[in-house]
Structure 1
Amino acid sequence: MVIFPIIIMVSLILYVYYKVAILRSNDTLNQLYMNAKGKICLGLFVVFFGVNQYLYYQTQLALYIGIVFFLLGTLQLVDGYKRARHYRNEQKRLSRT
């Protein structure tokens, strides 16, 4: 399965990109939005890393660790999505006024 390592690398690169974009921005709302997008990428990284490790080793220990990674990544992903949606709506609301 070559797709999982590709998704892992792309999400890790995007996570680093969004974290660097936070440092370049002076707007607090934009920083919060970039941080939320970074959380989404971090969640994707952890989820796919856990799935990939289980598929690679296929042991009971790898299954338990993969489940923990999957749950933690899903929590990061959902939280980042909710925050990104909120801050995107705030940016739209402020740009209209």
Structure 2
Amino acid sequence: MVVFPIVIIISIVLYVYYKVMILRGSDPLIQEILNAKARISLGIFISFFGVNQYLYYQTKIALYVAIVFLIFGLLQMYTGIKRYQHYKSEQRKRKENI
């Protein structure tokens, strides 16, 4: 079960990385794309953290908390993926017009 902590650490590092890159960027479209990537990373972090906690404790309360974390994580990932696809297509349109 070493995989879960590794994924958790990588996803939180990516989340922080994308948030810092948003501050460094000046183009609003690129900032939105980076924000969508940060949301995906945050969703992965929340989901894997919830599952990891359930596997560690294995109680009913941990199960309920893991389900809540999993739902919130999946919602973050879903909205992040949708936003990423939308803004990536906007970026392609912008490049075609130039």
TM-score by length of 2: 0.98
Residue-by-residue CA offset, 1:64-90 (whole Å, 9 max, x unaligned): 000000000000000000000100110
Residue-by-residue CA offset, 1:1-60 (whole Å, 9 max, x unaligned): 000000000000000000000001000000011000000000000000000000000000
Corresponding residue for residue 75 of structure 1: 75
Secondary structure at the aligned position of 1:26 is classed as coil
- Separation of aligned partners in 1, 2:9 and 2:93: 34
- CA root-mean-square deviation: 0.3
Matched, 1:6 2:9: no
Corresponding residue for residue 91 of structure 1: 91
- The residue identity in structure 2 corresponding to 1:16 is V
- Separation of aligned partners in 2, 1:81 and 1:53: 25
Aligned length: 97
Structure 1 gaps, min length 5: none
Corresponding residue for residue 36 of structure 2: 36
Equivalent pairs: percent with the same residue?
57
- Separation of aligned partners in 1, 2:89 and 2:13: 26
Q: Any residues of structure 2 matched to 1:58-69 within 5 Å, and which?
A: 58-69=58-69
- Shift >2 Å, 4+ stretches: none
Structure 2 gaps, min length 5: none
- Separation of aligned partners in 2, 1:5 and 1:23: 28
TM-score by length of 1: 0.99
